[in-house]
Amino acid sequence: MANKNPKSASAVILRAREHESYGTLVWRRFRKSKIAILGGLMVIMLIVLAIFSDFFAPYDPVKLNMRNGYIPPHKVHFIDAEGKFHLRPFIYGWKQVLDENMFPRWVEDTSKAYPIYFFVKGWDYKLLGLIPMNIHLYGLKDPEGMIFLLGSDKFGRDIFSRSCLAGRISLSMSLFGTIISVAVGSVLGVISGYFGGAVDTYMQRFVEFVQSFPQLPLWMALAAIIPDTWDQFAVFVVMSSIFALLSWTLLAREVRGKVLALRETDFVLAAREMGASDWRIIFHHLYPNTISHTIVVLTLTIPTIILAESFLSFLGIGIQEPLVSWGVMMREAQTIQTLGFNIWIISPVFFIFMAVLGWNFLGDGLRDAADPYTIL
């Protein structure tokens, strides 16, 4: 007869879990959080859109076409103006008319329908910068038609295509800046906590000195002095470094506190007795024990830098054309008149919102999953 004692069943489960690795435990806790999984999916989707932006973009994001300036987002139809259902989605063309105040505006032209096709040929690009291709996820085969799912900007450029490309800059800059910040903060925190004494005192005073600077005004000042003559790569590296400049101090303090609690533990004392050097103890014993916390801080720092970059670029003191970021695209919405007539130009806000929310959900889930005091 099967043992139906719940206590014995629980004991079996607990014994099985004793042999699980730390990574397995974290993953089991993490996957229980639906919000964290949702955040991870949002982040993956944005990263895929950024990496393969050329494939997802139906039009060249930097090519100008003044005739198509400020076209509203196209509506995808399955039912035409006569009430007939179509299996293949289609859009109607746009035409300009004058409203009652004699201002031009765009209206759907139901006399011109353009079917939407998938995996169509379009503008040439190099997939991942290596493979020449001209296949795109969707588009129109009729050369007279244009499809703008999120509308176009004042230069007739497709906002969706530009938003995908902008994700490359916004996400890669935030990742690069965060990695620099996390690397500096975690290493200095481990060193400060392990050596203690004068080393700890001087390092903590330096941390307090850096923290005394107002973060946003200093970012603005440093970004404003970047010369316009610098090439795109130099601007990217310097902007990423600026964001990392003041973002490492909190992590350094947190890692220091963890190392202070770990440096007198048995495995550290045993390493000392066996003649291990200080640097071996730091990088082979103490630093790996801070990795889980460091990863959590990394995921929670990225949205902060995304917002900072978007804000500075929106003000015109961050990334500049021809580089494209979500903040650069938002710069067009600075005037009330433009925004009032063309509300769709704030579409990049949706991508910023998804990125910030996704990374925060993911970071919160990782923080709870990596917490050693979480109930299994």
At 109, list the tokens: 């032209």
Residue 127: count of CB within 10 angstroms of its CB: 13
Question: Mean pLDDT across the stretch 184-212?
Answer: 89
At 14, list the tokens: 């607990």
Q: Is the dihedral of CA 37, 43, 49, 52 positive or negative?
A: negative
Enumerate domains of the chain plus CATH numbers: 75-147 (no CATH), 161-370 (1.10.3720.10)
pLDDT at 18 over 80: no
Tell me which DSSP letter residue 33 carries.
-
CB 137 within 8 A of CB 55: yes
pLDDT for position 17? 55
Local structure of 70: helix, strand or coil: coil
pLDDT in tens, 93-137: 888 887 777 777 888 888 888 999 999 998 899 888 888 999 999
Confidence band, pLDDT 50/70/90 cuts, at residue 6: low
Closest CA to 220 of 118, 327, 309: 309
Query: How far apart are alpha carbons 133 and 63 in whole angstroms?
Result: 18
Query: How far apart are alpha carbons 158 and 153 in whole angstroms?
Result: 7
pLDDT for position 356? 92
pLDDT in tens, 340-363: 788 898 889 999 999 999 999 988
Closest CA to 153 of 341, 280, 284: 341
Of 83-92, 101-110, 139-148, 249-258, which range is least confident?
101-110
Of 60-69, 142-151, 219-228, which range is least confident?
219-228
Parallel, antiparallel, or unpaired for β 117-127 and 104-115?
unpaired
* pTM listed for this prediction: 0.83
- What DSSP line would sit under 96-112, residue for residue? EEE-TTS-EEEEEEEEE
pLDDT at 168 over 80: yes
Question: Mean pLDDT across the stretch 3-23?
Answer: 57
